[in-house]
Every structure is written in structure tokens, then in C-alpha cells.
Chains A and B, each alone.
Chain A
Amino acid sequence: MAQPPLDLPQNPKLAGNIAHFAAALRRAGLSAGPDRLILATRAVEVAGFTDREDFAHTLEAVFVRRPEERATFRQLFRLYWRDPRHLEHMMGLLTPTIRDVQEARPPKPAEKRAAEALLDRPPAEPQGEAPSEELHIDASATASGRERLRTLDFEQMSTAEIAEAKRMLACLRLPVRPLPTRRLQAATSGRVDRRATLRSAMRRGDLHELRYASRGIRWPNLVALCDISGSMSSYSRALLHFLHAVANRQGPGWAEVHAFTFGTRLTNITRHLRRRDVDAALAAAGAEAQDWEGGTRIGDALHVFNRDWSRRVLGQGAVVLLVTDGLDRGDPENLSRAARRLHLTARRVIWLNPLLRWDGFAPRAAGIRALLPHVDCLRAGHSIAALEGVADALSRPGDEGELQRLRG
């Protein structure tokens, strides 16, 4: 292919400007490494530098890698190439402007919000009344203390008990049944793998043995939707601790753990859960979700989840863990519709409702009645023992928990 004459070498200033532009993009949170820069320079060489719009499209094709990044890029492009001489000035102005534009694009703004949130209010560390510390430390150190802690309601735990409970939660397992895949794997029995058999025959010179292959297994994804409204706060924190442990466990288990929090709006905190340190992870998640201990609109949250996320995270047979007390302030009709849609797209919906810890619990609230028909399993999840029950529920496919009793 004949290359057109290049107009760039004559214009070293342009190359320099692209480099500065890339630096600005990096500051705005896009990944514009040296390889991108080289590609951008080549792309501009090829496309020519005649039309401003083409130039924008060219750079966009190189630097943007996600739809969310487009708004940032365009804003930056408009600001930067208006008058590149004022670069220093721009760099100063840039960051706040960008933050306005990309409300939805996490890393940088989240960090800023994290800082704000941390100054504003202490992060997700539940502060119980902590009556007499020594006694509880004593109690939790013994086996019977642990046993007591297992069944103790998260809401009634003291600070020391919570600390111990966190350690126990971190050891808790959430076993799951693997799913068969289409991908074949070498095995000792199963169907004959003709490819491997013949290849080994060629290597040995004669047909020595048959090789087999069979369907492999894969692990499903877990998607947790966690209510963080005021009525749920002590449970959701314990639950997030538990999810952090599940998400960071090595070895077989869930392929991916996605977590969302909702109160008045839905927040994806998956990325924060991947942090190794549980306190750092929860602090970041707490800062990202701005609606801790506020009101609840479950229907809206589920609707937003269905629209924006369900196709992306429920694609490969994911199990949904819905953690909420079901006390909704929105329209029950709306909630019922969203829950039905969620139920249709998920492999299984497991509802953890801490209200179930009361013996006389009856589904009177409209939100609870709206949710009931659209879940596969309902359990309490208010204590460590209850969470162990959830683990049971996952390993038995037909388990319904208390659903039967409540549906009457």
C-alpha cells in the first residue's frame, strides 16, 4: 500500500502537542501510555491534519477504550485543542471540569469523593455501644463464646464481638455447585479424544493408548445486591465483610463476585471488593456509595440494575444474592415488575432478609409481598449461623428456605 507523503515530521510541534494531550488524558483517568502515543502519532500521520473533526475522530479511535471514556475525551479535546498554548493554564482548569462531566466514570472522582467522605464522616466501621470490653474479649476467646457469637444478631454485637465475628466471617465458605462447560478437557475417561490419541500415536510410533476428554466444569458468578439503607446498616456491613471474604478466596469457588449497593441509588462496588485489605475495601465502597443509611427505593434500584447491568453481569448463569429487609418506600407495583425481570435473568435469586429472625415474622409490608413471588429462596442472614445456612442453600439446588412458610 502506497503511503501518502507524511506531513508530520515537518511539524514537530504537533507531535509534542499530542504528547501533552495524552498527558492530560492520563490525568483525567484514561490510559494513554507510550504505545498509544506512538499509535496516535502514526494515525495522525496517516489521516492527515487538515480537518478538525477528523482529527478528533482519529485521536478518539486511539485513546478511547470504553464508552464511558468518550465524554471525558470529547470534553478534554474541546478544551485542549482550542488553544494548546495555554496548556499550563488548561491543566490547572482541566481536572474539576472533567470531574463534572464524568460523574459515572469511577477511579479518580471516587478517590476524591472518598477523601471528602472520609473527612465528612467516619467510614464503614460500625460503632456499637461497647459496654464492658474485657468481659466480651474473654467470652469470644473461648469455644463457647464463639458458639454464642455464631447465633448472635449482628445488630446486638459489641465492637469486640464484631471484630471477632469479622474473623469468623472471613473463614466462612460459600460453596457452590459447578456448572458443566462446553470446553473439553483431558480426562481419564469420557469420550475418546481423537486428536490427542493420534498425536500420542504419532509420537510413539504406534497406537499405544486411547486418550479421553470430557466436559469440564466452570464456576458460576455471584452477584450481590446489598441494601445499605438505615434499617439495614449493621447487617449490610457484616454482609459486605462476608462478600469481601468470598470475593478474595483463592481456589475453586465463584468465578467472579460482583457487588452492588443500593439505598436511594445503585452503586457498583465490585472493584473496591477486590482490594486485599477488607477495611480499605469497605471504606472505598462506603465512600463510593453516597447513600449509606438513607432511605430505600428497592424497585428503582432493581430497575436500574436490570437496565444497565443485568445483561453484563448475569450473562453466564449467575446467582443473585439480594440482601434487603424489603421495607420499600416506592411503588410496590414497580418493585414487583423489576423483581420479576431480575428473576427471569438470574439463574437463582436468593433473598436474605434479617427481619426473618423474629419468630412471628409475617409478610405484611407491601415491599416484602411484592418481592416474595420473585425469589427462589428466602433466608434470614442476620447472624453467622444464618449465613452458614445460606451456604447450605447454595449447595442444595431446590432449597427454598422459609419461602414455603411465608407464601402460605
Chain B
Amino acid sequence: MNSIDEVQAALARQDYICGRALATVLFLALRLDRPLFLEGEAGTGKTEIAKAVAASLGRRLIRLQCYEGLDAASAVYEWNFAAQMVAIRQAEAIGKAPPDLFGDDFLIARPLLQAMRPDDAGPPVLLIDEIDRTDAPFEAFLLEALSDYQVTIPETGTVTAPAPPIVILTSNRTREVHDALKRRCLYHWVDYPDHAREMQILAARAPEAAESLSCEVVAFVQRLRSEDLFKRPGVAETIDWAKCLLALDMIELSPAVIADTLGALLKYQDDIQKLQGSSAKRILDEVRAELAT
């Protein structure tokens, strides 16, 4: 991928429609071998980017899902202790020396180690998802791993990546990630798409939806995002909702059908309650009036 346009086009072939800003950052991350730090509300397609990049480059996608308490053993490597014990017992039983207990046979490579290992297709895409869920010690550990692209296994030595993997970190910003980690990365805030782009996304992801329905759906969701909600619907919710409406054989929105399918869009009872009754109809009328002009 030699230019920003090429990045945009390659992602579009994977049905990932992205804006110029995101394409620029991705291009830079690929060129400068820098990790890419993506932050944004849930459902704006941060995780999807990694999948699209991996698919368009033909690389392997390695995903490290973060959670509180994630430690080096589950992120980098682990010895298969049970197998080691069995090997020792077997060797004892037949009276021979045990095999090399710290060889590759007994090593369980977890995502970070997998990403550092050479790959025939080229350096893999390492997705470190929802980094804001881990705790500070793991963040600090990651800092080290991402600055040198190497991990050390005390028993066998250091594994250094032949070429740096493409690293994409995502965060929902449920808490602030430490500046030291952000400093290593290129940063991009993934925003909700505008009307035109969301139409393109819907056309790519739910192609069976009629143009008129998609237009109403997108306009309604866009309008909903400006309402005072506890959790605003993301792009993923738009796609889900369009698919729900298709499954119900709807060709246009109506207050009744919105009330029935609101669960696909809004995930908090407070928000759903707010939209029930006359609110949905009011918004729908406003959206229709806007579309008509």
C-alpha cells in the first residue's frame, strides 16, 4: 500500500468504509512501523479495522482481548506443565533421560509471542483489544514489548520479531490509558460517521436493504445520536437494526416498528423508556421532514 488512496481503496474492498483521516493514520502506522492507538465510543468499528487491515494485506490476525487481571502468562507464553510432568514420569518409567522440557513441544505461545514469531505471509496484525480493561502493570509490560518488539522467555532466551508486527490497540476510554503508552503510538479518535459515510457502510454491510429504508434508518440513528442518551447507538447498532428491519420485511419506518425493534439500537432501559411513546414518532417526523427537503 503505497498511498493513502490505496489504503482507503483496499479497506473498501473488505467492506470497510473509512474516512480520509483514518486512512492517513493507518498508512502512517504501516509505513513508520508504529502501533496505532484507536479510541472512540463502542460500536464505531475500531476492532473491525484490524480485521479489514489483516484481510486486505493477507496477513494473519492475532487478537489479544484484554481483561482485568490479564498477565504475562496469558498474554505471552505459558509452559504446558501437565505435558512436562507426563514427560518426566514417562522418562522415569522407561529409565531414560527426560526430553528437553523447555523446548518448543511444551511451549504454549499466547498472542504476543505468536505475533513476534516469523510468519510466511509477513508480519501479522496484532490487535490488542480494549486495552482500557487491563490494569496498570500490564500496560507497563506492554510498553516494553511494543518498544522493542521482543519478549524474553527465561528458559530459552529472547524472541525478537524479524519484522515488527502491525499493532492496533483499541480503547473505549472507560479509563485513561497512561501517556507513556500513547506516546509510542499514533493516535486516532474514531468518531461516528456522517450521514453519507454511514450510508456507504450500510450499503456494504447490509446490501439487501433498499436505498429508501437505509436512508431513513441512517437519518434516524444520526438524529438519535444528538439526543441526550446514556449510550448512543454505534455503527454496529445501525447495521444490526437495518438487518432486524429486513428480517421483519419492513420497507419503511413507523413508530410501531421502531418501538418493537428499539432493543437493537439502544442497550439501556432508561434510553429505551425515553424513546417509547411519542418521542419516537416526533423524531421520525423530524427526520422525514428533513429528508423531504
Contact = CB atoms under 8 A, between A and B. Distances in A.
A61 B174 contact: no
A31 B4 CA distance: 26
Nearest to A56: B21
Most buried by B among A1, A184, A218, A313: A1
A210 to B, nearest CB: 12
A206 to B, nearest CB: 11
A39 interface: yes
A54 B21 CA distance: 7
Contacts of B186: 43, 61-62
Interface stretch (B73-81, B208-216, B234-242): B73-81
Contact of B189 (A31, A67, A184): A67
A315 B175 contact: yes
Contacts of A67: 39, 173, 189
A195 interface: yes
Contact of A61 (B28, B82, B84, B228): B28
A312 B175 contact: yes
A57 interface: yes
Given A195-B73, A312-B174, A47 B101 contact: no
Interface in A170-224: 181-184, 194-195, 198, 202, 218
B21 A35 contact: no
A396 interface: no
B24 A57 contact: yes
A195 B84 CA distance: 11
A32 to B, nearest CB: 11
B173 A312 contact: yes
B71 interface: yes
Contacts of A61: 24-25, 28, 186-188
Contact of B187 (A4, A65, A183): A65
Given A43-B32, A194-B81, A341-B230, A60 B21 contact: yes
Main secondary structure on A side of the interface with B: helix
A58 interface: yes
Given A31-B179, A194-B81, A39 B24 contact: no
Contacts of B20: 53-54, 57
Which interface class (under 10, 10 to 19, 20 to 34, 35 or more) fits A? 35 or more
A119 to B, nearest CB: 32
Contacts of B32: 39, 42-43, 46
A76 to B, nearest CB: 16
A57 B25 CA distance: 7
Contact of B81 (A31, A53, A58, A198): A198
Interface in B29-78: 31-32, 34, 39, 67-69, 71, 73, 78
A17 B222 CA distance: 39
B27 interface: yes
A167 interface: no
A343 to B, nearest CB: 12
Nearest to A2: B2
B28 A47 contact: yes
A218 B32 CA distance: 38
Contact of B28 (A43, A198, A337, A341): A43
A368 B285 CA distance: 39
A198 B98 CA distance: 14
Contact of B24 (A36, A47, A195): A47
A165 to B, nearest CB: 34
The B interface is mostly helix, strand or loop, or mixed, namely: mixed
A311 B132 CA distance: 11
A231 interface: no
A181 B68 CA distance: 8
Contact of A64 (B135, B179, B187): B187
Contacts of A311: 174
B69 A195 contact: no
Interface string B4-24: 100000000000000011001
Contacts of A39: 32, 34
Nearest to B174: A315
B281 to A, nearest CB: 22
B189 A70 contact: yes
Contacts of B230: 306-307, 341
A151 interface: no
Contact of A202 (B101, B135, B175, B189): B101
Contacts of A58: 24, 28
Nearest to B33: A1
A181 B21 CA distance: 39
B182 interface: yes
B69 A181 contact: yes
Contacts of B27: 46-47
B21 A57 contact: yes
Given A70-B189, A307-B230, A65 B179 contact: yes
Nearest to B80: A194
Nearest to A337: B270
A97 interface: no
Interface string B134-147: 01000000000000
Contact of A65 (B31, B71, B182): B182
Contacts of B188: 60-61
A246 to B, nearest CB: 20
30 contacts: A4-B2, A42-B32, A43-B186, A46-B27, A47-B28, A53-B20, A54-B4, A54-B24, A57-B20, A57-B21, A58-B28, A60-B21, A60-B188, A61-B24, A61-B186, A61-B188, A65-B179, A65-B183, A67-B173, A70-B189, A181-B68, A182-B68, A183-B135, A198-B81, A218-B135, A306-B230, A307-B230, A315-B174, A316-B68, A316-B175
7 closest pairs, A vs B, by CB?
A182-B69, A57-B24, A194-B81, A61-B25, A183-B69, A46-B31, A57-B21
Interface of A: 1, 4, 31, 35-36, 39, 42-43, 46-47, 53-54, 57-58, 60-62, 64-65, 67, 70, 181-184, 194-195, 198, 202, 218, 306-307, 311-313, 315-316, 337, 341
